[in-house]
Structure 1
Amino acid sequence: MPLTIVVKIGTSSLTQPETGLLALSTIASVAETLSQLRREGHRVILVSSGAVGVGCARLGLTERPKAIALKQAVAAVGQGRLMRVYDDLFTTLQQPIAQVLLTRSDLVQRSRYLNILNTFKELLELGVIPVVNENDTVAVEELKFGDNDTLSALVASLVKADWLFLLTDVDRLYTADPRSVPDASAIALVDSIEELNKLQVQTGTQGSQWGTGGMVTKISAARIATTAGVRTVITQGKYPRNIENILQGELIGTHFTPQPEPTSARKRWIAYGLVPAGKLYLDAGAIAAISQGGKSLLAAGIKTVEGQFDTQEAVQLCDSSGNEIARGLVNYSSDELQKIRGYHSREISTILGYVGAETVVHRDNLVLT
């Protein structure tokens, strides 16, 4: 049965750690593996990091730039070089590829979100392997995915993939970094989101010298993907052929079991596609109503409003300590909410002078995080 497979490879796997130069043997192995999967009838998407790392090597920079403008310029140099290498290798294997560069703002507008989905569908129908990266050259900081682990999980969610493979520089998830803690325990299987939330793993937030990821971003990506019903695997980038072995049933790497009842595409868009414009701090009753009762959020349950936003923008719904409970699209602007917070719904028209929605965030536009 044909599968939809998303493979993400990080900078640490694509480049040589000492020099930042491309690890050509690894890239060739990725190309061979993905081309073979295509010949078997599977639909394949590659999410590839490496533009900034390759750009640094091309320009002789000894470390990853921190200034946004310089990073964007370096990414522009590196992205072309990276795609040239991919195109040469895949062309040798008679496998067509396409470059797809995305920014967070492409997922914020529902119409653009659906346009991207349609583009992916057409490319996969044509037998093309889309090679996806964040458009570092134009992405502004507040609209960045931040790392390609998150981007790959959002792409997997978007196309309703069966599998997401996160190829990295370690063979699986450990209770601590095995490179510095020799007796760290390997984790072979994570069965549920609850287990994921409780996972006491000492995860490094930094990636390699040339990359931006780390194990924290991979666990976060697994949370997004499994919520969408996508089976996720963390495995070693040096051995891309392990993907075929895993698909045949071998327990290589760390597997994250997908949720049996995935959240709807619209709710996944609200939860992970949008960038929250503000925060609403809720009382205990409102938190219980939305998290346990599946209810809408009413003005009476809001204690504090933070940020400036308009109606139909995304906001975070938080407890009194600032921990995010849920996200949703608001029916009122921040200015309106400052006036009606804490009041009963029947009092809203008197306070504002016009009839508004009974709910601040309707349950259809609200997703628990």
Structure 2
Amino acid sequence: MTPPGFPPARCRRIVVKIGSALLVDPAGNPREAWLRALVAEIAERRAEGQQVILVSSGAIALGARRLGLAKGGRGSLEDAQAAAAVGQIALSQAWAMLLGERGITAAQMLVTLDDLENRRRYLNASATLERLLSLGAVPVVNENDSVATAEIRFGDNDRLAARIGQAARADAVVLLSDVDGLYTANPHVDATAMLVEVVERIDARIMAMADGGSGSGMGSGGMRSKIEAAKIATGAGAHLAIISGHVEKPLDHWAKGGRGTIFHAADAKRARKSWLAGRLTTRGHIQIDAGAERALGKGNSLLPIGVKAVTGSFARGDVVDIVAEDGRVLARGLAEYDSADAVRIAGHRSEDISAILGDMPRSALVHRDHMVLLHP
């Protein structure tokens, strides 16, 4: 069953992610014929009123060839950063040329994980995307690998695409992949593996399909990252599709009956809660008991009485994960107390806070208005 607004031709605004293997050939050159065909269908969709944002990989691969770096530029962090610095110029030139041939203005946006985790910079990125689209440009987004490190990077453009879709309030995110969707097992080694065409809810069963090299055959670096991206996108109210990019005009091919996997969007959350749900970094964890877990499920705030343990170092207003006793992440929210005070009041009743801390400015440790429940 296809969700409302799909296939992507019927979506007002979409994000299309293109991986390095589709964009760059084994010799490190752009696959211009395939890219021209993709740009042609983007131009067709824009003529019909659709807005398109591209999330484009390929900078490191392009730069490594020009610098003569071994291992595709990924032999070290320094090599990857140098390759990205050179490759970004080549990548932006390629997109500007190809889109320009169709009378379309390309706009480059380079972001790091921190740009979309910091609330103010996230809103700035959102405003920039909105303005570029209103002016008729096609934003071409990539991670700023020339400055990103292991601590401040997405690590894959699947999740970046989902976060950009969230920031742009897109209707859909489409991941052009080297496989045509999520399979029940690795189709390369299991003849009984079946394509999962529709995912209504991302649960443990769906996550298990991405383990052990299933789906794309790339393990946690491949299909698992796509499912993590689907969590972000669907939680923000956008559908997400995984389809094969190994065809000419892949969006049209899929719209006309091509194979793929669709993750249905959840009900759109308020913007602040959507941002919270999509964050990839948090400052601490608050472990709660079963009673508090039931209370959160009913829409209540987190009170200190239900807290079993507090880990991490965070200030008031920082983002923290709320976890069950078995380690499941139940919710994410803004802490009403810093970590030191949270440890002191954990397990105590709200009316005892003033005696413990000397005052009682807030009864909740995480208020329900600043909390979002996550997938179990």
Common topology (TM > 0.5): yes
In structure 2, the CA distance between the partners of 1:240 and 1:273, relative to structure 1 (3 Å rule), is farther
The match for 1:263 among 256, 260, 269 is 269
Count the aligned residue pairs. Answer: 364
Q: Does 1:366 align with 2:375?
A: no
Give the drift of 1:366: 0.9
The residue aligned with 2:155 is 146
186-195 or 31-40, larger mean C-alpha shift: 186-195
CA distance in 2, matches of 1:312, 1:239: 47
Q: Does 1:95 align with 2:95?
A: no
The residue aligned with 1:302 is 307
CA distance in 2, matches of 1:13, 1:19: 13
Flag structure 1 segments of 5+ consecutive residues without an equivalent.
none
The residue aligned with 2:246 is 238
Partners of 1:205 and 1:213 within 8 A in 2: no
Partners of 1:331 and 1:360 within 8 A in 2: yes
Tell me the amino acid that sits aligned with residue 242 of structure 1. Answer: P
Task: Spell out, residue by residue over 1:291-327, the C-alpha distance to the aligned partner (whole angstroms, 9 max, x if none).
Answer: x211111111111111111110001111223221111
The residue aligned with 2:231 is 223
Give the drift of 1:201: 4.4
The residue aligned with 2:329 is 324
Length-normalised TM-score, structure 2? 0.89
CA distance in 2, matches of 1:59, 1:206: 34
The residue aligned with 1:22 is 30
Flag structure 2 segments of 5+ consecutive residues without an equivalent.
1-9
Partners of 2:18 and 2:57 within 8 A in 1: yes
The residue aligned with 1:70 is 79
Give the drift of 1:66: 4.8
The residue aligned with 1:172 is 181
Q: Does 1:106 align with 2:95?
A: no
In structure 2, the CA distance between the partners of 1:26 and 1:192, relative to structure 1 (3 Å rule), is same
Matches within 5 A, 1:201-220: 201-202=210-211, 204=213, 213-220=221-228
Partners of 1:203 and 1:216 within 8 A in 2: no
Partners of 1:7 and 1:164 within 8 A in 2: yes
Task: Spell out, residue by residue over 1:202-255, the C-alpha distance to the aligned partner (whole angstroms, 9 max, x if none).
Answer: 46399899xx940111111112112222122111112252313545x6353111
In structure 2, the CA distance between the partners of 1:218 and 1:203, relative to structure 1 (3 Å rule), is farther
Q: Does 1:282 align with 2:288?
A: yes
Larger relative CO (CA 8 A, sep 6+): 1 or 2?
Answer: 1
Give the drift of 1:350: 1.0
The match for 2:66 among 58, 67, 92 is 58
Flag as ranges the 4+ runs of structure 1 deviating above 6 A. Answer: 205-209
Length-normalised TM-score, structure 1? 0.91
CA distance in 2, matches of 1:181, 1:82: 37
Percent identity reads 39
CA distance in 1, matches of 2:258, 2:208: 20
The match for 1:123 among 132, 142, 148 is 132
CA-based RMSD of the aligned residues comes to 2.4
Tell me the amino acid that sits aligned with residue 12 of structure 2. Answer: L
